[in-house]
Amino acid sequence: MKSLTVFKVVLLLTLFSWINILQARPSTTNKSASCTTLLARLKVEDEEGSSQCWDSLLELQTCTGEIVLFFINGETYLGPDCCGAIRTIERQCWPSMLGSIGFTSEERDILHGYCDASESCSTPEIPSPLAR
């Protein structure tokens, strides 16, 4: 009989605890707010920015070979489209995207620095061997 009373008390305390926990917890029925922030983070809401961000991401995919050669073979050239995609993604879209797709912070800094330097200086003219 005593154990039944203890059981009832424990059951009541558990129920009251659950009620308090559920009342204190914020409601998650407002799903539109979380979708809106996700849409904003993915740059889907702004039509013009969205297109530019996604186009840059696709361009980055097409210049993956250039980037691999840049790091593996020491190639010192990335095309202007590739650098443009890197700059757009880093500056206007998703700054942490390069890290998310596998580049280390050092590699991101190298790419960022190279592309910034190539943006600031024009392509030098290569003298013709016949001009001597």
Residue 113 in tokens: 């620095």
Q: How confident is the model at residue 110 (pLDDT cuts 50, 70, 90)?
A: very high
- Coil vs helix vs strand at 27: coil
Task: Assess contact for 112 and 90: CB atoms under 8 A.
Answer: yes
pLDDT tens digits for range 4-23: 787 777 666 676 676 767 66
What is the crossing angle of helices 47-62 and 80-88, to 10°? 130
pLDDT tens digits for range 27-51: 555 555 555 666 666 655 555 556 7
This prediction has a pTM of 0.56
State residue 29's pLDDT score: 55
First to last CA, the chain: 111
pLDDT tens digits for range 92-106: 888 888 888 888 999
Residue 74 in tokens: 């020491």
State residue 27's pLDDT score: 58
Residue by residue, DSSP assigns 48-81 as HHHHHHHHHHHHHHHTHHHHHHHHHT------HH
